[in-house]
Chain A
Amino acid sequence: MAKTPSPDVSPPVDEKRASFEREALVHLDVLYRVGLRLTGNPSDADDLVQETMLKAYRAWDQYEKGTNAKAWLLTILRHAFINEYRRKVRHPETVDLDAIEPFAVFPEVQDDDPQGAFFDRIVDDEVLRAIDKLPDAFRETLVLSDVEGMSYQEIAQILGVPVGTVKSRLFRARHLLQTKLYDYAVEMGYIKGSPA
């Protein structure tokens, strides 16, 4: 007897799996890098990414195929982080972001090292450590922009804030990070100067 077509409107499992692999699983590296910076350790990042992928697969029918899977997945990842990990892995944010007035590094190095060659002497781990020390709101904005190359609009969507907030956080996050790296470079003797 011929098989009657299923009244179910959801796509067959094979098709669902194929589109998930094509559009979502390809972003595993991005999710891991962002997860690692949010949680601060590889084991929690693994769990967070795993959970994100499970949630995403369950909700896959709601995702409009061919739109922005990366932003959609990062939104899920961030919600999962806020709901389940932030309390566990990091202390609640007590920093007053508006009170942070980062020091501008360029005027300090303009005469001796205008190209910022001292940055090149700073190794990966030190840069990641400095990023991890940024306040949460700055860190997530900077990672989405500077590590993952997302647009202001995409970041605003993922973080649920206006584009103007993304701009101002990005400006201050970058300058704060520059200050931290500059201080480190001075301390290590990579560049002359006094720590900010």
Chain B
Amino acid sequence: MNCRECVEHLYEFLDRELTPEVERQIRDHLEDCPPCDEQFDFEELFLKFLRARCRTQGAPAELKRRVLRELFGE
């Protein structure tokens, strides 16, 4: 696998959407190619950062009460 093919699969790889075979080819390429490896790391860290920043919010307690009241008359 060359650099272009590897980078084309970047997000599918990070999203765990590839077959084990293609995943293995990418891992092999990343081991031998520091520039691609660095780019994959950057994107992986970005996705982790995004998730950490956005998942702190949950439904307000009042909304939970409102839904229960509406559905079950509580």
Contact = CB atoms under 8 A, between A and B. Distances in A.
B49 to A, nearest CB: 5
B45 A116 contact: yes
Contacts of B53: 122-124, 127-128
Interface stretch (A3-11, A67-75, A141-149, A186-194): A141-149
Contact of A167 (B12, B42, B59, B60): B12
A144 B26 CA distance: 25
A134 interface: no
Contacts of B56: 124
Contacts of B47: 146, 174
Contacts of B38: 110, 114
Interface residues of B, number: 30
A53 B58 contact: no
B55 interface: yes
A106 B17 contact: no
Interface stretch (A26-34, A82-90, A93-101): A26-34
Contacts of A80: none
Interface string B47-63: 10111011111111001
A116 B53 CA distance: 15
A29 B59 contact: yes
A146 B39 contact: no
A28 B67 contact: yes
A171 B41 contact: no
A59 to B, nearest CB: 13
Given A33-B55, A33-B58, A114-B41, A120 B49 contact: yes
Contact of A49 (B49, B50, B59): B59
Interface of A: 17, 20, 25, 28-29, 31-33, 36, 42, 46, 49-50, 53-54, 57, 106, 109-110, 114-116, 119-120, 122-124, 127-128, 131, 143, 145-147, 149, 151-152, 167, 170-171, 174, 177-178
Top 4 closest A-B pairs, CB basis? Answer: A32-B59, A29-B58, A127-B53, A147-B54
